[in-house]
């Protein structure tokens, strides 16, 4: 008789021969390439494809808020005591604030070095202003921020689509669970875990549509921007992508090195989710997959359940880079001087406005426009200059936001001893084999047979018990 490990090894070769184009990541890349081609060849038709990308993101949003709620609640409940959960949450907020501040400073330094917007005076026309989203969407400032993080009612936290409100409700709910008697906690946690798995199954079905959603989003982006706008702002887009790369592989790479991880191996492990983020320009598209993958690799449920959802509201490194670079672009394009004192004041404003930004595509631009309005001396209509190429910049923004939260989870889980370090290092050394092994373990085990009805070890399978109609129930 073969051992269980031998049977698993015997089943692994067919998985290794899986066609490359059947992988979700490859399908998304192919869809993106087709979207670019259709956008350039048939711009009029490509504009109508926006609905495809919008519908896909709407389906993702339908499952994200409940997933965040259940993940945060179970993360707090798994801690066993409030003190342990509070320590991890407090360290996470400190980490988020430090890294976000570094991102804002890097963006301001890069914008000054590149001189972004100084040659864009001819682009600042009032005709473009009607195309950009309005920044007049409510109050701005500390009071408005504090009012916005608390929902009017429990259900309102989910219906509003504000992840920060969902996180607040989930944290309070999780703290309440810790106050219950142990036998009640076990019953409620078991029920929450079942419902959470149901939502994961729902999102897995939706993810099958990811290539279609990416195709529609990219085709619309290229079709509406056109070659004229792309060429006019190519320099800014390339500079922004360069700054994002410096932050990801420089700043986050240094953080990983200090924590004892290889950033390239982490990126390889979550490459499918990161490819999906690039295709949809939405951080939410990768959230369900990351919640499962980071728990599977060896990070505790508590660390993943607290760090990832909270990071989606507070650790938006890509949003910070976008806001600092593009705000100076508007100032330079309109000839408004921004010295060191003005930029320091701008930094303080952005530290506040960048928190709780929407993680869906377009949310960062609205927050950016609100920041420009909050300065008091920059024209809001100047944001329209950047709206034409926002989609191309938002892909890098979403990538940086998402990967920044992945790195934060690894680092904080290790620092707080909420990680099986040996398991993580083994998995990162060969993520393909690790994922193939763990995915096969999730599937129901069925004995393999040949046409004669024998198992791989040569033994015949027992015949099923025969029942008569009178005895069958």
The reply to whether 79 falls in a domain is no
pLDDT band at 394, cuts 50/70/90? confident
Give the list of residues 6+ apart from residue 213 with CB closer than 8 angstroms, or none.
52, 53, 55, 56, 57, 279, 280, 285
Q: What's the CA gap between 178 and 81, in Å, rounded?
A: 7
Decide: helix, strand or coil at residue 206: helix
The reply to whether 285 falls in a domain is yes
Q: What's the CA gap between 150 and 450, in Å, rounded?
A: 60
> What's residue 440's pLDDT?
58
Could you read off the pLDDT of 59-82 as tens digits, one per residue? 877 777 787 787 777 767 765 566
pLDDT band at 3, cuts 50/70/90? very low
> What's residue 388's pLDDT?
58
Q: Which residue has the tokens 């048939």?
A: 42
> What's residue 73's pLDDT?
79
> What's residue 12's pLDDT?
42
The reply to whether 422 falls in a domain is yes
% the chain with pLDDT above 70? 68
CATH number for the domain including 124?
Answer: 1.10.3860.10
% the chain with pLDDT above 90? 14
Helix H segments across 247-358? 253-259, 263-269, 271-280, 287-297, 301-314, 317-333, 340-353
The reply to whether 197 falls in a domain is no
419 phi, psi to nearest 5 deg: -150, 145
Q: What's the CA gap between 201 and 101, in Å, rounded?
A: 37
Higher pLDDT among residues 385 and 135, named by residue: 385
Helix axes 210-232, 234-246, angle to 10 degrees: 120
The reply to whether 67 falls in a domain is no
**Per-residue pLDDT at 456 exceeds 60:** no
> What's residue 133's pLDDT?
47
The residue-averaged pLDDT of 328-336 equals 81
Residue 412 sits in which domain range?
23-50+96-138+211-439
The residue-averaged pLDDT of 265-276 equals 90
> What's residue 183's pLDDT?
76
Decide: helix, strand or coil at residue 24: helix
Higher pLDDT among residues 260 and 219, named by residue: 260
Domains of the chain: total: 1
> What's residue 107's pLDDT?
92
> What's residue 187's pLDDT?
81
The reply to whether 455 falls in a domain is no
**Per-residue pLDDT at 57 exceeds 50:** yes
Maximal C-alpha separation, the chain:
91
Find, among 350, 299, 366, the residue nearest to 134 by Cα. 366
Of 374-378, 407-411, 451-455, minimum mean pLDDT range: 451-455
The reply to whether 467 falls in a domain is no
User: Which whole-number Å values give the CA distances from 141 to 131, 302, 313, 457, in the listed order?
Assistant: 25, 32, 17, 70
259 close to 415: Cβ distance less than 8 angstroms: yes
The residue-averaged pLDDT of 392-410 equals 90
> What's residue 226's pLDDT?
56
pLDDT band at 15, cuts 50/70/90? very low
User: Can you spell out the DSSP letters for 382-449?
Assistant: GGHHHHTTHHHHHHHHHHHHHHHHHHHHHHHHHHTT-B-HHHHHHHHHSHHHHHHHHHHHHSPP----
- Say how many Å lie between the first and final Cα of the chain, rounded: 34
Q: What's the CA gap between 241 and 393, in Å, rounded?
A: 7
Residue 27 φ/ψ region, left for φ over 0, alpha for ψ in the -120 to 50 degree band, beta for the rest: alpha
> What's residue 376's pLDDT?
65
Q: What's the CA gap between 436 and 30, in Å, rounded?
A: 23
> What's residue 467's pLDDT?
44
> What's residue 140's pLDDT?
47
pLDDT band at 18, cuts 50/70/90? low
Find, among 399, 424, 400, 406, the residue nearest to 260 by Cα. 424
The residue-averaged pLDDT of 216-237 equals 68
The reply to whether 73 falls in a domain is no
**Per-residue pLDDT at 142 exceeds 70:** no
**Per-residue pLDDT at 102 exceeds 90:** yes
Give the list of residues 6+ apart from residue 41 with CB closer than 8 angstroms, or none.
none
* HSE, side-chain direction, 13 A CA sphere, residue 341: 0
């Amino acid at each position: 008789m073969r051992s269980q490990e031998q049977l698993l090894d015997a089943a692994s070769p067919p998985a290794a021969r899986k066609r490359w184009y059947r992988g979700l990541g490859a399908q998304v890349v192919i869809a993106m390439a087709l979207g670019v081609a259709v956008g350039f060849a048939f711009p009029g038709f490509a504009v109508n494809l926006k609905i495809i990308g919008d519908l896909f993101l709407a389906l993702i949003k339908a499952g994200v808020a409940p997933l965040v709620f259940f993940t945060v609640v179970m993360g707090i409940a798994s801690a066993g005591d409030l003190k342990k959960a509070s320590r991890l949450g407090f360290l996470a907020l400190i980490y988020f604030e430090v890294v976000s501040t570094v991102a804002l400073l890097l963006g301001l330094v890069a914008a000054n070095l590149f001189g972004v917007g100084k040659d864009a005076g001819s682009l600042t026309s009032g005709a473009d202003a009607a195309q950009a989203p309005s920044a007049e969407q409510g109050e701005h400032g500390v009071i408005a921020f504090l009012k916005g993080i608390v929902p009017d009612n429990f259900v309102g936290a989910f219906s509003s689509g504000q992840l920060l409100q969902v996180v607040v409700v989930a944290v309070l709910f999780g703290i309440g669970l810790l106050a219950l008697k142990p036998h009640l906690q076990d019953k409620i946690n078991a029920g929450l875990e079942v419902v959470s798995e149901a939502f994961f199954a729902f999102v897995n079905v939706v993810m099958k549509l990811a290539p279609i959603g990416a195709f529609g989003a990219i085709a619309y982006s290229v079709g509406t921007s056109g070659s004229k706008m792309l060429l006019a702002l190519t320099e800014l887009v390339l500079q922004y992508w360069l700054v994002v790369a410096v932050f990801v592989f420089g700043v986050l790479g240094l953080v990983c090195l200090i924590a004892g991880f290889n950033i390239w191996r982490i990126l390889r492990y979550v490459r499918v989710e990161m490819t999906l983020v690039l295709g949809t320009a939405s951080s939410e598209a990768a959230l369900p997959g990351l919640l499962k993958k980071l728990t599977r690799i060896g990070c505790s449920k508590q660390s993943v359940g607290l760090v990832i959802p909270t990071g989606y509201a507070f650790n938006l490194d890509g949003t910070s880079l976008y806001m600092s670079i593009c705000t100076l672009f508007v100032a330079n394009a309109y000839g408004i001087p921004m010295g060191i004192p003005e930029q320091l004041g701008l930094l303080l404003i952005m530290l506040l406005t960048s928190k709780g930004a929407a993680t869906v595509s377009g949310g960062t631009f609205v927050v950016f426009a609100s920041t420009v309005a909050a300065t008091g001396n920059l024209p809001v209509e100047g944001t329209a200059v950047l709206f034409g190429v926002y989609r191309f910049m938002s892909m890098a923004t979403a990538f940086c936001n998402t990967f920044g939260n992945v790195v934060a989870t690894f680092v904080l889980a290790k620092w707080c001893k909420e990680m099986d370090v040996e398991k993580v290092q083994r998995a990162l050394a060969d993520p393909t084999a690790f994922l193939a092994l763990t995915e096969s373990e999730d599937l129901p085990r069925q004995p393999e047979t040949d046409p004669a009805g024998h198992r791989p070890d040569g033994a015949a399978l027992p015949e099923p018990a025969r029942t008569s109609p009178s005895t069958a129930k």
